[in-house]
Structure formats: structure tokens, C-alpha cells
Structure 1
Amino acid sequence: MPAQAAQVEVHVPFSFTVNSETLPPGDYRVSSDAGDGVLFVRGFTGGAFAVTNRVDSSTETDAKLVFNKYGDQYVLREAWMGDGSARELPESSFERGLKEKARNDEAAPGSEQVSIPAL
């Protein structure tokens, strides 16, 4: 019997990047099959997917998306599915470029983490 797909719905109030795909603000359905490492992010105007690593936690039970923020750029890093498991996205070349820019530009703000709870 195939494993159930984990799924969360979330409203993201800002544009964000998944791998190299920039998605607009809006409502998204984020899902991942338990058996594979692919995370799907689907909205009304588009979507993206990413190969991820599974993370398990006995203390984290809230469904949410976690973004790294660099200035006004947001990069999706984790999708917590509400069952103590998450999908962690590897650092993309886009995010490495943002980190490098922040390191080289003293006026640029550093990074911070932003969490958006599921609906």
C-alpha cells in the first residue's frame, strides 16, 4: 500500500524562491509523498518542486513553512507537515548568491528566518 502524501495549505504574503523559481504572494498547497524526497509547491498562478531531505522532530508539531530572508528576498528552506516531520530544501545556488552578496556588502542586512503557519 503506498504511503500517504503529507500536505499543508498556507498563505504566503510575499514573493519567494523555491530553487531558482520565484513564486508570487498567494495561497499555496505544499505536499510531499512520504516515500520520496520531492516537495511540491502549488499555487493558483504557478508552482515549483524541489528535492529535499526529511527531518523528524519529536517537539515540532506545527504545520508551517520556514523561509530565509535576505533583504527583501525570501527563500523557502523547510516545510513542516504538522506530524513531526519536515522537508528541508538544500541551499540553492540562488541562495548562495544572496549570502555572498550580504557578506560582501556591509550595508546589506544579514539573513533572518521567517515562519508562516499553515491555514
Structure 2
Amino acid sequence: MKLQETGRYQLLALFIALVVVLTMHPTKAQAQVVGNLEVDIPFQFHAGNVKLPPGKYTIHMLENTDLTVMEITSLDGSTSALFEVGRAQASSAPAKSELIFNKYGNRYFLAKVFDEGNPSGSQVLESRYEKRIGQAATEGQEHVQAHHRDQQGN
């Protein structure tokens, strides 16, 4: 009997240790924009390797890409771009969903996407063009608020 009790205690201890390890090291899930964000961008900008005109766009994570590719599409469907993303972490959770652009002179590059209430977001991988421009110019940032399409109120 003592052998069975010892085995049960060892199994219980192993289970508790496993639970502790799993809660201390969460899975590799990246934060993602849930659904489609809608945004009105008032300036010409670059998303990945594509230059896009000012206008209204939707942006979302592409399915089946392990949360590494996003798509931005104009509301009229005439323009779109795919771009690679990694993880981004804000110092605090944004009150509203937002897109953050790096600004070099009069050139804007989509840099980060955050969903409202979540400090984890997506960072757009820099294109060669942005790296080249960034070496020659002073960087600023521009924040543009976005909202989920179902929260429009129109």
C-alpha cells in the first residue's frame, strides 16, 4: 500500500509542477487584431513593399499564416498589400485601436498595429526601402486611430 501512495503523491507533484510551468511560460501565441479594423489614413504611406494612397482601409491578420502576415485593403477593394509582422509590446494598453506609422520627412511607413485594450500587438517588418530612408532622415511617429467595422455607429 505504501508504494501505491508514494506513486500517487509523485504523480500529483508532477501534475502540480506541470501546471506551474505552463502558467509561468504561456504558449507562443502572439496577440492579433481580432476581426477587421477600419481606419481612415489621411496621407500616402507604405505597407511592406507597397505604396498606398490616402483613404479608408481595413486591416486584418491573414488566416493560416501563424500570425505573421497581415493584409490591408482599401474599402473599395482597388488596392491592397500583404506584409510580414512580428510581435510588438506597448508600454500600456491603448484605449483605442491604432496604427502607428514611422515618419521620415514626408514619407510614412506602417510600423505597428494595436487592438484596443491590448498592449500586445503586431510590428511590421521594415522593408529595405524604409531602412534606406531611415538611415538618411530623422524619424518621427504618427498615430492613427482605428475601429472594428462592427463598432462604427454609422
Regarding TM over 0.5, the answer is: yes
CA contact (8 A) 2:33 2:121 kept: no
Q: Which has the larger radius of gyration?
A: 2
Q: Tell me which protein shows more strand as a share of its residues.
A: 1
Alpha-carbon offset, residue 115 of structure 1:
0.2
Does residue 117 (structure 1) correspond to residue 145 (structure 2)? The answer is yes
Q: Kindly report which structure 2 residues correspond to 1:1-119, keeping only aligned pairs within 5 A, or say none.
A: 6=34, 7-33=36-62, 35-43=66-74, 44=76, 45-57=78-90, 59-61=92-94, 62-84=96-118, 85-102=120-137, 110-119=138-147
Cα separation, 1, equivalents of 2:69 and 2:114: 14
Alpha-carbon offset, residue 8 of structure 1:
1.1
CA contact (8 A) 1:5 1:33 kept: no
- Give the TM-score normalised by the residue count of structure 2: 0.63
Which is worse superposed, 83-92 or 4-13? 4-13
Alpha-carbon offset, residue 100 of structure 1:
2.2
- What stretches of structure 1 of length at least 5 have no aligned partner? 103-109
- The aligned counterpart of 2:7 is none
Alpha-carbon offset, residue 5 of structure 1:
6.2
CA contact (8 A) 1:70 1:112 kept: yes
Alpha-carbon offset, residue 93 of structure 1:
0.4
Q: Tell me which protein shows more helix as a share of its residues.
A: 2
Q: Which has the higher contact order (CA 8 A, sep 6+)?
A: 1
CA contact (8 A) 1:64 1:82 kept: yes
CA contact (8 A) 1:15 1:23 kept: yes
Report the count of equivalent residues.
Answer: 109
Work out the percentage of aligned pairs sharing the same amino acid: 28
Q: Deviations over 1:56-75 (max 9, x none)?
A: 55822320000001111000
Cα separation, 1, equivalents of 2:103 and 2:88: 21
- Give the TM-score normalised by the residue count of structure 1: 0.80
